[in-house]
Amino acid sequence: MKFEYAILGLLSWRPFSGYDLAKYLEVEGRFLKNKVHLSQIYRLLARMVDSGWVAYEVSANDGRPDSKIYRLTDLGITTLRDWVRSPYEPSTRFQDPEFAVRFNFGGPLDRDALVELVRVELATRRSQVARFRTRDRTIADLDPIDGVDVSLVRRLSDLGHEHGASAIDHWIAWLERVLAELEQDQSGTTVKEFSA
């Protein structure tokens, strides 16, 4: 996923300065991307201005440097909507940042795309569980270097699998709940607030 889509999504909510985008991404958006430096955001915004996706107005600040306040252009809105409606291809890892960006920023733009996103993610994760949950996890043919505790290798592998199985089961249950609420809302009932 290109990080531009997260920025376009944020700008679909309201205009932001580069500094305000960085503050948002440092706290509320920290699961969307690893640490983002302010300089990266300003470079990205400059490219997005050059592409015609965003425009800015200069806002004077008393006693401080002026701020550029960025807004989506019509082309930026079209670009975001096209991405929201494009096919979602889940990664092999569940809880991938692309899902989160599409869910949080694309969902409010296009409910049908949101429902499809959740359905695709749910089907993918159910398929993974069906394919891999009961596989033989025996670690064979170990020829470790000196100092490697083979019994600990096996035990840590089992513990990692237990954690992963529990986490994906929780993820699937959450997706099922979200999908049920979205489908219920389509029938005219109010959507409840989603929480993990």
Q: DSSP secondary structure string, 72-123?
A: E-HHHHHHHHHHHHSPP---SSSS-HHHHHIIIIITTT-HHHHHHHHHHHHH
- 14 and 55 belong to one structural domain: yes
pTM for the model: 0.82
Which residues are paired to 54 by β-bridges?
72
Nearest to 98 by CA among 117, 75, 79: 117
Q: Are residues 61 and 110 in the same domain?
A: no
Q: How many CB atoms lie within 10 A of CB 122?
A: 18
Residue 195 lies in a domain: no
Range of the domain at 156: 97-186
3-state SS, residue 20:
helix
In the listed set 50, 85, 120, which residue is the last one of a domain according to the structure? 85
How far is C-alpha 179 from the chain's CA centre?
Answer: 17
| Residue at 193 is within a domain | no
The partner residues of 67 in beta bridges, in order of sequence, read 59
Q: Which of 85, 115, 142 is the last residue of a domain?
A: 85
Position 25 in a domain: yes
Residue with token string 């979205």:
182
In a domain, 151, yes or no: yes
**CA 68 vs CA 49, 58, 79, 109, 130: distances in Å:** 12, 5, 22, 25, 50
Q: Is 105 exposed, middle or buried (0-12, 13-18, 19+ CB in 10 A)?
A: buried
One domain, residues 118 and 144: yes
pLDDT in tens, the chain (196 residues): 588 999 999 999 999 999 999 998 888 776 666 678 889 999 999 999 999 999 999 998 888 888 999 999 999 999 999 999 999 999 998 888 889 999 998 899 999 999 999 999 999 999 999 999 988 888 888 888 999 998 899 899 999 999 999 999 999 999 999 999 999 977 654 444 444 4
Instruction: Among 85, 113, 132, identify where a domain stops.
Output: 85
Q: Which two tokens stand for residue 64?
A: 């401080």
Asked whether residue 191 is domain-assigned, the answer is no
